[in-house]
Chain A
Amino acid sequence: MPFQKETLILGSGPCADQLVGHLAAHGVSVRQVTMSGAAAVNLPTISGGKPIQRLDGAQLVQCQGIAGEFSVVLDDGTKPVRYKVSSIVVVPECLHVPNHDLYGLNPSEKVLALSALEKMLQRGSVQAIIPTQARVVFLNSWSIDPHPVMAQAMLQGCLEMQQKLDVRTFFLCGNLKVSVDGMEACYELAKKAGTAFVKFSDRFPVLVPLADGRIQIDYWDETTRMEYRLVADLVILDEQIMPDPRLADIVRQLRLESDDLGFAQSDNVHRLPNWTNRRGIFVAGGARAVLTEAALSVDANQTAQNVIAFLSGLDRAPLPKVEIDPGRCARCLTCYRLCPHAAITMEPRMIIHAEACQSCGLCVAACPNRAIQLQDSTLETAFNQQAGQGAQAQAQSSDCIPRIALFCCSRSAAQARELAKSMGHQLPASLRFVEGVCGGTFSVRHMLTAIEAGLDGILVLTCHEGNCHSGKGPHEADKRVREAARLLTGAGIAPERLQFTTLAANMGREFAEVVNGFEEKIKALGPV
């Protein structure tokens, strides 16, 4: 079954091209923007699939709309053109920057970056620039750790030179990175072939360029505890592998989360492998991490699979709807700014798009006018029964049994609770339990109403910072607990009656510990 709308691919290179080929073969119309002036290499050849529209060197200058109905503007330098696409995959290649600055060495015929060496090895032109019996020294970072993918490439280059050419190779590093398939075996081979490995922990070598351009390396060897001097006929520098700098602009245009290194995927395990904070927008290859050549190919396959699942509407289970009451909405844009999934647009009414919404409820809890409703009534029902008005009718609180409500995130604390129960942990008898999709669902109103209804303490439990499906859940929940506690203090009620704690889904024992500890605290405080 062919898919009606186009999928936009931003990027080129082996991963992007393999992905494009797979999608086209499965009946997905693809528009590929290669991000560079030059045509992409390794063009996939498709038989019987959908044609691929290609735009070389164009830039994404705008993106509006939501999953299934994105409207993007691409500018190839001649004129901006608007396209409708159903999904977007960001897949640029990483950038390799030689570490000249790190070692204080200038590029020359005797100081080559690894990429340059790889090209020369392919052409067989290395012999021309080195004497026989040349000393070739590979520098693989000691003061900062190299990426294992770079270490792999360095080690492979070193092994090839040692085995095929009449040279003596030296491999200088800090931690030798062998956590890539086959690398320990490659290291063993290189040692057997004659490569000398020198590792540094805290005393680092001194590199001095000589008049003839060779590099003199003075170092202290930790194993023999002796000073050595090595004059290199050829030095091979490793490279920093970093995200394409143009990714920053794409991240901004697409309103994506990014990580500390600049990749277009936050460092959150729940986004693995190809998901982003926005449904219908995927990241692959160099957009999400530094990957080995083998891993890039794997990523192209699984991304194709994930895109097709999305286009078929099978990427997720049905979720409760969230809707804005236009009568109450003051268009203050609080929800628009807060939504981690960019599911809210102004046209000119504020609209929450079900296709993009993940039902986390952050906007519901934050709306100052209570104009947003989660159509799933289970949260409000549970709240009313357990902590709201319904709770009032129940037994009076007594000195010995405090009435405590737990506000739990469904993905972490609620599962930890199940685990605690299955592990046989004792939990307070008078616990009331309210579960929300995300910890960010619970509002200041929820907390104050519960205290007003006669509860003695409220424990808000979310996942750990950096582990939230909505990105900002723990942060928002913490903020609201503080705000509610401030209001309680103003009313003469101890702010300790509200507590915010983070837990993971597999922390059953810790769940019991936190809850029992909280009960002790509330017991000590006595009834409100």
Chain B
Amino acid sequence: MNLNGKQVTILGAGITGLEAAKHLAVSGIEVVMLERTSQPGGQAAALSCKAVDGCVRCGACMVQERLKEIMRFPNIRIISDARVAQIARQYGFTITCESNKGVSTTHSDAVLVSTGFQAYDPSAKPYGYGYIPDVITTLEAEALLKRHGKIQRPSNNQEPKSIAFIQCVGSRDSRLNHPWCSKICCGSSLRMARLIQHRQPGTLATFFYIDVQTFGKNFQHYYDESKNTIQMIRAIPGDIFKTSDNQMLAAFFDPQTQKAGEAVFDLVILAVGLTPAKENVELARLLDFPLTPWGFWRSHRDGATGRAKGIFTAGAALGPMSIPECIDSAGQAAWDIVQFLGTT
């Protein structure tokens, strides 16, 4: 199918957008990627490699790989620090975007929304996030690992002796109306705990959970091994307090003793869930495309007709997805775009 001369604008240059761009470029399509931040790569680019003795299949390195791969395509152009200001609809899409290089206008025959997710802000949870410095999110822990290679307590830059990993913060939460599992947190937290124990031997790790979710093909083996070094508690703490000696006290209902349990930690890492990006509402308005009741993007496959024609959606913008799932989703969207452009 000859699609030379066709143009597609991709909103968001994370793993999903990059993978889709590659597929589209192969078909000869001119691709313009608009990236909100200063660099392509998205949120997965901020993740650290979790390898201990060998690769643990976290997939974080795949972003670098995709970035390198798309460089061979002259028909992919990336505009960073971009903000979509206006979208006009007539014979396709005319997108006005503002970046620090000024205002530019691109015309495209189709648009792919791959704007990703926003991590849940746990300030509203009773975990002291925001005012206890040693309560941090998984993303902040990733940043610490990336910067120092080790985990330090933000309050005193010392290495913690004990760490609590609290799962499902902002996920599987009916009170928040978040009836979804964020899919990636169990895997990322357990891999992170084992990386820290590998680099900072003797660190005690406690994992608070509802149900441990499967990640990776070799899950059972990895999970069984994790149980040897990580204390697993099937409960989610109700509260976290700061003690007088600068530790965090987590109060929870211990299912084993059937009593209120307490434990103190040097550091608490909250596995914050994947939620819809707050920019979705404005972008959906510009595109005149429906969102789900929760604010994620609908799949273009759910009856994208009328005004929604020519708009495609993929990746974690649709709901929580792992990196491999984002790659599949990008492949699907690119395929659908190629079919669409081939018939218009």
Taking Cβ atoms with an 8 Å cutoff, the residues of A that contact B are 26, 144-145, 147-148, 175-179, 181, 183-185, 188, 199, 201, 222-223, 225, 259-261, 263, 267-270, 272-273, 289, 295, 298-299, 301-302, 304-306, 309, 312, 314-315, 317, 411-412, 415, 463-467, 502, 504-507, 509-510, 513
The reply to whether B172 and A178 form a contact with Cβ atoms under 8 Å apart is: yes
With contacts A178-B213, A270-B62, A505-B64 known, what are 8 further pairs, Cβ within 8 A? A267-B217, A268-B57, A269-B323, A273-B324, A306-B331, A309-B26, A415-B64, A464-B54
Min Cβ gap A509→B in Å is 5
Contacts of A309 in B (CB 8 A): 23, 26
B152-200: which residues lie under 8 A (CB-CB) from chain A? 171-172, 174, 179-181, 183, 186
The reply to whether B174 and A178 form a contact with Cβ atoms under 8 Å apart is: no
B115 at the interface (CB under 8 A from A): no
Q: A504 with B49: in contact, given A179-B214, A295-B328, A302-B331 (CB under 8 Å)?
A: yes
Min Cβ gap B218→A in Å is 6
A88→B118 CA distance, assembly (Å): 40
Contacts of A178 in B (CB 8 A): 172, 181, 211, 213
Using an 8 Å CB-CB cutoff, how does the interface string of B319-338 with A read, 1 for contact, 0 for none? 10001110111011011101
Q: A464 with B51: in contact, given A273-B331, A513-B149 (CB under 8 Å)?
A: yes
B181: contacting residue among A179, A201, A269, CB under 8 A? A179
Q: Chain B: which residue is nearest A466 at the CB level?
A: B55
The reply to whether A305 and B338 form a contact with Cβ atoms under 8 Å apart is: yes
B212: contacting residue among A26, A175, A181, A315, CB under 8 A? A175
B65-83: which residues lie under 8 A (CB-CB) from chain A? 65, 68, 72
B88-119: which residues lie under 8 A (CB-CB) from chain A? none
A175: contacting residue among B45, B213, B218, CB under 8 A? B213
B19-73: which residues lie under 8 A (CB-CB) from chain A? 23, 26, 45, 47-49, 51, 53-55, 57, 59-65, 68, 72
A145: contacting residue among B183, B223, B234, B256, CB under 8 A? B223
A179: contacting residue among B213, B221, B234, CB under 8 A? B213
A315→B328 CA distance, assembly (Å): 17
B278 at the interface (CB under 8 A from A): no
Contacts of B256 in A (CB 8 A): 201, 222
A513→B23 CA distance, assembly (Å): 37
B290-344: which residues lie under 8 A (CB-CB) from chain A? 319, 323-325, 327-329, 331-332, 334-336, 338
**5 A-B pairs whose Cβ atoms sit less than 8 Å apart in the complex:** A145-B219, A148-B214, A201-B234, A261-B217, A465-B53
Q: A177 with B336: in contact, given A273-B328, A504-B60 (CB under 8 Å)?
A: no
Contacts of A467 in B (CB 8 A): 51, 54-55, 61
The reply to whether A314 and B26 form a contact with Cβ atoms under 8 Å apart is: yes
The reply to whether B55 and A465 form a contact with Cβ atoms under 8 Å apart is: yes
A309→B26 CA distance, assembly (Å): 7
Contacts of B149 in A (CB 8 A): 509-510, 513
The reply to whether A305 and B331 form a contact with Cβ atoms under 8 Å apart is: yes
Q: A225 with B258: in contact, given A178-B213, A179-B213 (CB under 8 Å)?
A: yes
The 8 A-B pairs with the shortest beta carbon distances in the complex, nearest first, are A302-B331, A504-B49, A465-B54, A466-B55, A467-B55, A179-B213, A301-B335, A175-B211
Using an 8 Å CB-CB cutoff, how does the interface string of B203-216 with A read, 1 for contact, 0 for none? 00000001111111
Contacts of B53 in A (CB 8 A): 465
Min Cβ gap A246→B in Å is 20
Contacts of A259 in B (CB 8 A): 217-218
The reply to whether B328 and A505 form a contact with Cβ atoms under 8 Å apart is: no
Min Cβ gap A482→B in Å is 17
Q: A145 with B181: in contact, given A272-B327, A302-B331, A506-B49 (CB under 8 Å)?
A: no
Min Cβ gap A317→B in Å is 5
Min Cβ gap A191→B in Å is 10
A184→B274 CA distance, assembly (Å): 14
The reply to whether B55 and A301 form a contact with Cβ atoms under 8 Å apart is: no
A445→B328 CA distance, assembly (Å): 43
A273→B66 CA distance, assembly (Å): 13
B246-261: which residues lie under 8 A (CB-CB) from chain A? 255-256, 258
B231 at the interface (CB under 8 A from A): no
A178→B218 CA distance, assembly (Å): 18
A269→B212 CA distance, assembly (Å): 22
Q: Chain A: which residue is nearest B331 at the CB level?
A: A302
B146 at the interface (CB under 8 A from A): yes
B4 at the interface (CB under 8 A from A): no
Contacts of A415 in B (CB 8 A): 64, 68
